[in-house]
Each structure stands twice: as structure tokens, then as C-alpha cells.
Amino acid sequence: MRQAISATWAWLRVHLFRFWTALAVLGTSAYLWVHKPEYLTWWKRSIDRIVEGGAAQLPYPWGDRLEATIGNFGVWIQLTVAILIFRAAFGILFLMIRAMRKGRSYRK
């Protein structure tokens, strides 16, 4: 029974982390859309440059196909990359906090 509760809690923590990070990025995007659209323009152009640069590394028909396909999913790619970067940053921060807490408990 204890393992089931532990597994459920771990599953819930993972999905709550995913949910609030996605909401934070979407909320930030909405705020920027209203108040600072130049940041969204910068983000879009940055992602487009990354896609174009990656597609240019592939041989002729495949690079153009990949670039066109990813370009059609433009806003979804931009949001996905933003969410992944945000999650990675917070994940690293949480791991550092957890490591510092463990370090304190060993010292006592």
C-alpha cells in the first residue's frame, strides 16, 4: 500500500510540475503579446534561425522538407522550446535546492 501511495505521489508531482510550467509559459506569452510584443518577435526569429541552421546541415531534399514541416508548426515549436527551457531551468534549480537541503541534514 505504501508503494502505491509513493508511486501515485511521484506521478502527481511530475504532472503538476508539467502543468504549472506550461501555464507559466503560456501566461508569460499572453502578457508579452499584450505588453512587450518585440520579445515575442525576437523569440520567433531566434527559433526560426535555429530551425534554418539545423535544416541547412541536411542534404538537399531533406533539409528543405524539414524546414517547411517545422515552419508549419511554428507557434507550437516556439511554445514547446520555451516550456522545455523553463522546465530545465527550474528542474536544475530544484535539484540544487534539494542537494543543499540534504547537505544540511548530513551536517547535523
Per-residue model confidence as pLDDT tens digits over 68-99: 888 888 889 899 999 999 999 998 998 999 89
Confidence of residue 106 (pLDDT cuts 50, 70, 90): low
Q: What is the pLDDT of residue 91?
A: 87
Q: Return the exposure string of 55-72: e unless at least 16 CB atoms fall within 10 Å of the residue's CB, then b.
A: beeeeeeeeeebbeebee
The answer to the question of residue 50 being in a domain is: yes
The domain total for the chain is 1
Residue 31 lies in a domain: yes
Residue 34 belongs to domain spanning: 18-107
Q: What is the pLDDT of residue 20?
A: 93
Is residue 10 in some structural domain?
no
| Inside any domain, residue 86 | yes
- Between CA 97 and CA 86 the distance in angstroms is 17
Q: What is the pLDDT of residue 107?
A: 58
How would residue 2 be classed by pLDDT, with cut points 50, 70 and 90?
A: confident
Residues 43 and 54 sit within 8 Å (Cβ to Cβ) = no
pTM over 0.95: no
Query: Does residue 13 lie within any of the structural domains?
Result: no
Contact 22, 52 (CB under 8 A): no
